[in-house]
Amino acid sequence: MSLQLDRMEIEEEGRDDAVRLARAIHKQLGPLSGPVPVHDIALALDIVEIREEELDGFEAALITQPERDIGSIVVNLKSDRRRRRFSLGHELGHFLQADHVLNQPDGFLCSKRDMVEQDLNAARYEVEANRFAIELLAPPEMVRPALRGFPDLDKAQRLAERLDLSFVAAARRYAELHDESLAVIICRDSVVSYMARGPGFPFLLAGRGSRVPLPASTTDRLTSMELVDPRDWLAKPAGTELSLQTLHQRDGHSISLLHAVRETDE
Ligand SMILES: [Zn+2]
């Protein structure tokens, strides 16, 4: 039997808020034993068609009307499956948040960049659609078991497997929900392409496009968490102890986790 959800109740409880909407969906789904069935969820909420096509210049699209009776979603077949799951969640977010104004005559067209926007200066609807996607695909109760013990990228990697999320999305969520102050840095050839700070993590010195001192590369090997000089990383390094762990991937890509600990004042 296909999945049944009560859209009216979800929208009533969600009141156009990304977090509340995702929570209302999970309330109806109940506890899940595997990854969140985002495909079936979309189909149960008046998305009548989900197509996978090779797309150029954008990552996903939602075809709908301002009143959102029904919608169709297209996601980029050129991107890997986990990325497509996130894109699908993102477009479903635009569909369910009826206050999102269409950015095309017949819906929304979203780029790769749109899919990672988190900061408040970015387009608000994109930030909210991403918020919905991560809350839907990685709700706090499903992430919690990964948060025990010391921060470790290996745990984020296992979280990605368990929730069928991209490693970057899982690491970002891990940093966001962990009790410790964490940041995720994505680099190519030691140049920052993306960074996300968890709550309480101090301001970083480096921005997109700047070079950072990563440990020597050993492909597909996770380094251990090592103390680094906070002056290399933080805008205000005084009084903070900083550790870094890096996973070097193929073609110079890497993902790093920074862990900041405030030294207690005497
Ligand atoms: Zn979008």
- 128-152 per-position pLDDT tens digit: 999 999 999 999 999 999 999 999 9
CA of 57 to the centre of ligand 1 (A): 13
- Other residues' Cβ atoms within 10 Å of the Cβ of residue 51: 11
The list of the chain residues with pLDDT below 70 reads 1, 119-122, 218-220, 265-266
Single-letter amino acid, residue 186: I
Report DSSP state, residue 265: P
Please give the Cα distance from 23 to 160 (Å, whole number): 20
Ligand 1 centroid to Cα of residue 87, in Å, is 8
CA dist 188 and 84 (Å) reads: 22
Residue with tokens 């996601």: 75
Going from the Cα of 27 to the center of ligand 1, the distance in angstroms, rounded, reads 25
Instruction: With beta carbons less than 8 A apart as the criterion, state whether 35 and 82 touch.
Output: no
Three-state SS at 238: coil
CB 189 within 8 A of CB 252: yes
Q: How far is CA 14 from the centre of its chain?
A: 20
What's the confidence (pLDDT) of residue 220?
A: 63
Distance 185 CA to ligand 1 centre (A): 23
- Ligand 1 centroid vs 159 CA: distance in angstroms? 25
Q: What is the pLDDT of residue 264?
A: 75
Distance 234 CA to ligand 1 centre (A): 31
Q: Helix-strand-coil percent breakdown of the chain, rounded to 5?
A: 35, 25, 40
Q: Are 93 and 137 in contact (CB under 8 A)?
A: no
CA distance 175 to 264: 22
CA of 202 from ligand 1 middle (Å) equals: 29
- Ligand 1 centroid–CA 43 distance in Å is 19
| pLDDT in the model for residue 16 | 87
- Exposed (0-12), middle (13-18) or buried (19+): which is 35, by Cβ within 10 Å? middle
CB neighbours of residue 193 within 10 Å: 14
Quote the pLDDT of residue 266: 47
- 89 C-alpha to ligand 1 centroid (Å): 10
Tracing tokens 């209302």 back to the chain, one arrives at: 24
Burial category of 20 from C-beta neighbours within 10 Å (exposed 0-12, middle 13-18, buried 19 and up)? middle
